[in-house]
Amino acid sequence: MDSVYGHLENLLNAKLAAARCPIAASRARSRLAYLLDMSRCSLNAKLAQARGSLHSNMLVTVFLRYPYE
């Protein structure tokens, strides 16, 4: 009889685990989406900073090269 109860308990645990899986998968997807969004924001900020630095360097070069025009 113990093996029957053990088998039923395993089935119940498996069903509970399966019911929790979609919730865990949903959390993982939202966490992954958040991390991807944050990395994209970080990359965009670095690109914007580099672009701004490039533009300011170009302006300095123009003013230093042609100061009296």
pLDDT band at residue 6, thresholds of 50, 70 and 90?
low
| Alpha-carbon torsion angle 13, 16, 21, 24, nearest 10 | -110
Q: Is residue 65 pLDDT above 60, yes or no?
A: no
Q: If residue 60 lies in a helix (H) or strand (E), which one and from where to where?
A: helix 2-65
- Tens-digit pLDDT profile for residues 8-58: 676 667 766 666 666 666 676 777 777 777 777 677 777 777 777 766 666
The predicted model gives 55-68 an average pLDDT of 58
Give domain limits for the chain.
1-69
Residue 39: CA count within 13 A, CB half-sphere: 6
Can you tell me the distance from the alpha carbon of 60 to that of 46, in angstroms, rounded to the nearest whole number? 21
Q: What is the pLDDT of residue 30?
A: 76
User: What global pTM score does this model have?
Assistant: 0.33
* Residue 46, CA distances (Å) to 24, 49, 54, 63, 68 in order: 33, 5, 12, 26, 34
